[in-house]
Amino acid sequence: MSAGVIAATPIWIPLAIGGAAAGGAAGLGYGSYRLLKLKKKIQRTEAGNEAQFTETEAKMIEGVIKRLNTKQNQIDEA
């Protein structure tokens, strides 16, 4: 059985590509959801109080800080 542009293309190839695209979209959606939850948690924390973060949240914050530092270094070099 075949599907796609070329008649000789097996059906599993377009299905595999579609599955990979769906998985990637789901991963991006979940990452955006986690970032939104983290943003709300930070905004709910009152000034002068400490917020406790999970290990995953701490890694996300660390990644954001590193990205901002990289962008700042690129601006400084220009």
List, in order, residues 6 or more apart from 8 with CB less than 8 Å away.
2
Residue 57 belongs to some domain of the structure: yes
pTM: 0.62
**64, 65, 68, 73: CA torsion to nearest 10:** -140
Per-residue pLDDT 10s for the chain (78 aa) are 555 566 777 778 878 888 888 888 888 888 899 889 999 998 999 999 998 999 999 999 999 899 888 877 777 776
* Domain total of the chain: 1
Residue 4 belongs to some domain of the structure: no
Residue 6 belongs to some domain of the structure: no
Do the beta carbons of residue 63 and residue 38 sit within 8 Å? no
Give the range of the structural domain holding residue 59, as residue numbers without chain letter.
12-77
Residues in the chain: 78
Residue 5 belongs to some domain of the structure: no
Residue 73 belongs to some domain of the structure: yes
Residue 1 belongs to some domain of the structure: no
Residue 40 belongs to some domain of the structure: yes
Residue 44 belongs to some domain of the structure: yes
> What pLDDT, on a 0 to 100 scale, did the predictor assign at position 5?
61
> What pLDDT, on a 0 to 100 scale, did the predictor assign at position 36?
92
